[in-house]
Structure 1
Amino acid sequence: MTERNTTRRRFLKASAATVATAAVPATATAAESQWTVAETPTGNTLYDVEYAADGAYAVGAGGVALKRTAKGWTKIFDGGVTGNGNSLYGADVTDDGKRLWFVGSSGAVGAYDVETGTLYNHSKPVGSTNNFNDVSVMGQAGEANVYVAGDSGKIYYSFENGASQTWDYVTPGSGASLSAIDFHDAKSGHVVDTNQKVFQTTDGVSYTDIGITDANVNFYGVDSDATDDVRVSGGGGTVFHWDGANWTPTDLGDAGLKDIEVTTDDSEGLTVGGGGKVFDKTGLKWAQDATPTGQNLKAVVRGDVDVAFGAGGTVVEK
């Protein structure tokens, strides 16, 4: 099972801040390629990937879900939560790695028990049929807090494992579409929208705008490790880091960076995006990795084997 964001850090109350003036330089040269292409049983675009207790899982267009096994990637189901083909755009796993949650188009919300193979349908919370872009879950299988972000600008949440009649919602910003959401504690996390905003919560219900002023790029991914340790990936090859007081940008080129994952000790990380771009963080520096694909990459996860996914069922591994 890959590392989960379990580090707890001292809360530092912060207000919105402008981007720091000087961007952190990135290493421009590409590292020797260690990434290889893996075959998959689908040509559908894959939008998200997570490690569960028994290995990596991916979800994508048409409601396809894949699992990485000793024999390679296999399809565990197709057609989405209810079999009607709703695409799945976001995924997350419970803290024990036993249940994979996923969300997608037309209000799709579901969970898959990796031990029993049971598929649970939690779709249309509060009757919503909006497109859902991402999900974050905290807690054990069957007892998780579930947070769903979507096109309506609302976060749908349940503190009772997505059970019927336990859902509520909040609109943290202006109603702009929410691109990504990530929590580091039961009720503490961050969400980004398409209006260049990042919102923070410490109670799972109310949200505070913490920037990013003058970012001038779209936001696509967020990695929340603490209230004073957040990274956002976005357009123009930009990664932003929040330290509780300021946002510091790092310029990695011109590719839109769709996803980002950094260890809680900030020592290592990965971000991926357009044109098969992968950037690898070691210490304070980011370096571009050579990859064997030019396909747009949508998601990345770190583990015993690092995995990135994207258009046309593309999977690259390291």
Structure 2
Amino acid sequence: MSERTDTRRNVLKAAGAALGAAAVPSVASASSADSEWTAVKSPVGGTLYDVEETSEGAYAVGDAGVVLERTAKGWRKILDGGPTGNGNNLYGADVTDDGERLWFVGSSGAIGEYDVTTGNLVDHSAPMDVTNNFNDVSVTGEAGEANVYVAGDSGKMYYSFENGATQTWDYVTPGSGSAINAVDFYDDREGHIVDGNKSVFYTGDGSTWDKIGLADANVNFYGVDSDGADDVWVSGGGGMVFHWTGSRWVPRDTGDAGLRDIEVEDGVGYAVGGGGAVYDREDEEWKPDATPTGQNLKAVCRESEVEIAVGAGGTILEH
């Protein structure tokens, strides 16, 4: 386990323990008897694309620039319109290592930094005057001192080693120019991305990238969980999951659903995707979980006391 992952998890676990007992949102529809996942009431009907745990609890982002917060009385909308107020969709989010700043990115170059302790929002949109769509973001370091990595739909990785300050951004095109669908870092400047050309790339310095796979995958890649140079999980179309062990890729076929996100720690975790699909990994096997929805799921968060999946139609599942 990386130092960054361990530090952030300890921060969020402590915060989650304080909040968890009170934060019990109302149930919108009961799950089936054999399901551990429950649908909870959502304040929005648009798609939620990502969910993250912070020092103040869980947050989700989605259509029209909405940002939702999980509170003791349920989920509530705290931001509408995104960082610019123009209603740009938000497709990806991440949190600083201390859990205090939530970063999110989306369409038309939207980038926002939200202080979950004060409610202050900083707009970092259109770095280098770029207004392309941004699909995902990963941040490392503490609040105000973060390295910020943004996955571009045009195949570029944008990055700032100075908390997204103006004039500190740069970019690189790791592959063929295909859209970069997901990014995740396990240390300050070490992480992985997946792109629309069925490729996985690794960086050890945050700015230069080397391809590490994936030959003959035959499916699109949607999600990546980077836990170390020799511990990378990729989710994709056709129910496929791939694990990089440092020497080889190990494929697993879970079924037919396209898997949009994956989170694994110490071999245990979840992958979520189309038609309300949730796959649970334990004892080195992926098994389907029953869920109370048929909506497409876009993201899963498992770093808190309560595990959360979000998706189309404002869907929020808790476990």
Give the TM-score, by structure 2 length: 0.90
Contact 1:143 1:160 in 2 (8 A): yes
Matched, 1:111 2:113: yes
Distance in 1, matches of 2:235 and 2:180, equals: 14
Q: Which of 247, 256, 259 is 1:257 aligned to? A: 259
Is the 2:4–2:187 contact (alpha carbons within 8 Å) kept by the matching residues of 1? no
Alpha-carbon separation, structure 2, partners of 1:224 and 1:88: 22
Report what 1:26 is aligned to: none
Between the aligned partners of 1:69 and 1:281, the Cα distance in structure 2 is 28
Cα offset for 1:4? 6.6
Residues 1:297 and 2:297 aligned together: yes
Superimposed CA distance per residue, residues 201-224 of structure 1 (whole angstroms, 9 cap, x where no aligned partner): 000011000010000000000000
**Counterpart amino acid of residue 315 in structure 2:** T
The match for 2:50 is: 48
Partner of 1:86: 88
Post-superposition CA distance 1:82-134 (Å, at most 9, x none): 11100100000000000000000000001100011000000111111010000
Percent identical residues: 68
* 1:126-181 superposed Cα distances (whole Å, 9 cap, x missing partner): 11101000000000000000000011100000000000000000000010000000
Question: 2:242: which partner in 1?
Answer: 240
Q: Partner amino acid for 1:91? A: A
CA distance in 2, matches of 1:71, 1:285: 36
RMSD: 1.4
1:190 aligns with 2:192: yes
Residue 32 of structure 1, CA deviation: 2.9
| Equivalent runs, 1:258-297 vs 2, <5 Å | 258-263=260-265, 265-266=266-267, 268-297=268-297
* Structure 1 unaligned blocks of 5 or more: 8-29
Q: Give the distance between the partners of 1:64 and 1:4, measured in 2 at CA.
A: 28
The aligned amino acid for 1:304 is E
Amino acid at match of 1:192: V
Q: Relative to structure 1, is the Cα distance of residues 273 and 4 closer, same or farther in structure 2, using a 3 angstrom cutoff?
A: farther
User: Aligned in 2, Cα 1:99/1:172: closer, same or farther, shift over 3 Å?
Assistant: same
Q: Which of the residues 184, 203, 214 maps onto 1:212? A: 214
CA-CA distance at 1:6 after TM superposition: 3.7
Runs (4+) off by over 4 Å: none
TM-score in terms of structure 1 length: 0.90
Matched, 1:96 2:110: no
Q: Which amino acid aligns with 1:285?
A: E
Once residues 31 and 254 of structure 1 are traced to their aligned partners in structure 2, the CA distance between those partners, rounded to angstroms, is 24
Structure 2 spans left out of the alignment, 5+ residues = 8-31
CA 1:31–1:216: 2 relative to 1, 3 Å: farther
The number of equivalent residue pairs is: 292
* Deviation string, structure 1 residues 244-295 (Cα, Å, up to 9, x no partner): 11111010000000000011x22x1011000000011113111110000000
The one-letter code of the counterpart of 2:173 is: T
